[in-house]
């Protein structure tokens, strides 16, 4: 099996992407090793953000998400779901309030370290014009060949590879055009498994999947997630997920909150007050 042959091309593309991302100050920054995990609850306090010259955004969001929770963020277009995702992953910084992961405020953590704790999957993940193996392997530069294969197996992508003409060495085309929508999402899921983040966010990622791929995706993530936090944004409730919390957004505000699971913090009665 050819491995890592497309890495120079991949790294170059990643560096170009970094150049167009917002250039944030890193703040004081804690002395975290780049490989260290921020583990623990995800806390959101009085979080507000609006776009320049716009009334759109999110307003006074308060949530406590414990390890192992599966949280559904439900709302129509323009309700603030994607804005909340962008704030959690620090594509934007809060104008008011705090985001805390594992006891550390986001503003006090090096932005690259913070982003390394999150994996965000949208409905159109970007794939590079290299092999399917290299597209997964780029998620962790230090991963062994066996770890990459393990990600293929755990995500359900292994069955896809077995149907491809050149197996792991099959090139996927620009933006993954030679793969189906479902196959591209399984590649992205395998990347997440290899990255091993503390928080996984699915931003309307499963909207266009056929039922078989949808079920494969859901079952793979449920089996893998263990004590990780999973956040799922959607227009509607999807009963295939074992939600512990449902948060309904409208106009950037929480308009309804449902407790469905047995999170320790929820059992204690410390519910968010919006």
pLDDT tens for 211-246 read 999 999 999 999 999 999 999 999 988 888 899 999
Is the Cα dihedral 183, 128, 176, 119 positive or negative? positive
As a whole number, mean pLDDT of residues 21-26 equals 45
- Alpha-carbon span 65 to 72, nearest angstrom: 11
Domains for the chain: give ranges and CATH numbers. Answer: 44-117+197-274 (3.40.50.300), 126-196 (3.40.50.300)
Chain segment 162-219, per-residue pLDDT in tens: 999 999 999 999 999 999 999 999 999 999 999 999 999 999 998 878 899 999 999 9
In this predicted model, what pLDDT tens digit does every residue of 65-103 receive, in sequence order?
999 999 999 999 999 999 999 999 999 999 999 999 999
State residue 231's pLDDT score.
97
pTM value?
A: 0.83
Starting at the edge strand that comes first in sequence, how are the strands of the sheet with 199-203 ordered?
A: 118-122, 199-203, 229-234, 70-74, 245-250, 253-259
């Amino acid at each position: 099996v050819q491995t890592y042959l497309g890495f120079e091309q991949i790294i170059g593309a990643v560096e170009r992407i970094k150049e167009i991302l917002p250039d944030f100050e890193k703040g004081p920054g804690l002395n975290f090793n780049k490989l260290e995990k921020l583990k623990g609850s995800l806390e959101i306090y009085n979080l507000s953000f609006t776009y320049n010259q716009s009334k759109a955004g999110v307003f006074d969001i308060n949530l406590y998400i414990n390890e192992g929770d599966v949280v559904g963020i439900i709302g129509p277009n323009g309700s603030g779901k994607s804005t909340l995702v962008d704030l959690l992953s620090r594509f934007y910084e809060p104008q008011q309030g705090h985001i805390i992961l594992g006891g550390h405020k986001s503003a006090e953590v090096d932005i690259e370290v913070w982003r390394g704790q999150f994996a965000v999957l949208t409905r159109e993940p970007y794939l590079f014009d290299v092999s399917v193996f290299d597209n997964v392997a780029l998620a962790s530069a230090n991963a062994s060949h066996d770890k990459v294969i393990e990600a293929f197996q755990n995500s359900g992508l292994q069955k896809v590879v077995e149907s491809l003409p050149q197996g792991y060495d099959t090139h996927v085309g620009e933006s993954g055009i030679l793969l189906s929508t479902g196959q591209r999402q399984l590649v992205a899921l395998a990347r997440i498994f290899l990255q091993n983040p503390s928080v996984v966010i699915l931003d309307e990622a499963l909207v266009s999947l056929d039922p078989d791929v949808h079920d494969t995706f859901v079952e793979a993530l449920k089996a893998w997630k263990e004590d990780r936090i999973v956040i799922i944004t959607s227009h509607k409730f999807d009963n295939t997920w074992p939600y512990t919390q449902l948060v309904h957004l409208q106009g950037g505000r929480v308009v309804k909150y449902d407790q469905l699971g047995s999170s320790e913090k929820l059992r204690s009665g410390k519910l968010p007050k919006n």
